[in-house]
Structure 1
Amino acid sequence: MPNTDELKAMLDNPDDFGTFGRFVETPVEEMPPQMREAFDFTEKLRGLVPGPHKIWAANPSLLTTIAPIGAYFQTKSTLSKAEIEIATCVVCGHWRSAYSSYEHEKIAEALGKLDPANVEALIAGLPTVFDDPRQQIVYELSSTLAAARVVPQGLFRRAQQLLGDAGISDVTVLMGWFTAVSLTLMAYDVPSNATGLDQ
């Protein structure tokens, strides 16, 4: 059993932590060419290199493949920004990812289209209700899928009527996307207040 000084030294070891959770970012000016190309590609595509993208930059091929999916949801999705945040907050809360839950609580509330109490309920996994029928069906569908439940035929029909097959596909792929985001952030133990390098 380590004594108090040994335990403190173990906990204070800077090698145990990186610049973004456990991840040690490479400063832009020190990136190898392929990493820099992927980083620049993502920045041009999204206007910034957000949270998990900082980590995915360590695998440039993955980053250039996956970054367009996130950009799709920012610019071309059939879902509104509020609907995207509903499904996103359900997934972030499901995985209990500190960083993404905190970020998307702020983003969802900043939209001004979602009641903060609803956003809190989404992240906490508590029941809630939306006045907008499309928002309600996105909530019901994403909550059902996050709970690994069978989507009942009636729920599916209502989702199809309100969102269409394109919208249902958007919800499911968005949930997969944010599962990848959340698991990446959790694997690297990224805390809610992480900032990473300013680059």
Structure 2
Amino acid sequence: EFDDPDQAIVFEVAVALHVDRKISDDLFDRAVAQLGKDTVVDLVGILGYYTLISMTLNVFEVPLVNADGADEIRLMPELAEGTLVFGRNTKSP
């Protein structure tokens, strides 16, 4: 449950897009009424970008590490340096 109606509709749209790969006309109309058309367009774009990134990380099995006992998980430094050997058997040109 969300106290903020904007958060509730964003969550509903996100779940529908990731589960059904589309949203119903009713949900679209409610989202536009609640958030505005421009925000719905932005939301769909952000959700698509999230999917792109998560698929890429999953396909190449990019590992995550918990650096120095920190509470948050960060991408390995090798990824930023371009020296990461992916989990999948990839070959450099």
> TM-score, normalised to structure 2's length?
0.65
Q: Aligned to 1:195, which of 68, 71, 76?
A: 76
Highest RCO, 1 vs 2 (Cα 8 Å, sep ≥ 6): 1
Given residue 46 of structure 2, which amino acid in structure 1 is its aligned partner?
L
Quote the RMSD (CA, aligned, Å): 1.9
In the TM superposition, what is the alpha-carbon distance from 1:150 to its structure 2 partner?
4.5
Give, in whole Å, the separation in 1 of the partners of 2:60 and 2:77.
12
In the TM superposition, what is the alpha-carbon distance from 1:191 to its structure 2 partner?
2.2
Counterparts of 1:162-181 in structure 2, within 5 Å, are: 162-181=34-53
Given residue 58 of structure 2, which amino acid in structure 1 is its aligned partner?
M
Quick one: percent identity of the two aligned structures? 34
Greater share of helix: 1
Number of equivalenced pairs: 71
The list of structure 1 runs, each at least 4 consecutive aligned residues, that deviate by more than 6 angstroms after superposition, is none
Q: In structure 2, do the counterparts of structure 1 residues 151 and 185 end up closer, same or farther at CA, with 3 Å as the change threshold?
A: same
Match of 1:151 in 2: 23
Paired residue secondary structure (1:147): helix
Q: Aligned to 1:182, which of 54, 71, 75?
A: 54
Given residue 185 of structure 1, which amino acid in structure 2 is its aligned partner?
L
Match of 1:131 in 2: 3
Greater share of strand: 2
Gaps of 5+ in 2: 66-74, 82-93
Gaps of 5+ in 1: 1-128
Between structure 1 and structure 2, the one with the greater Rg is 1
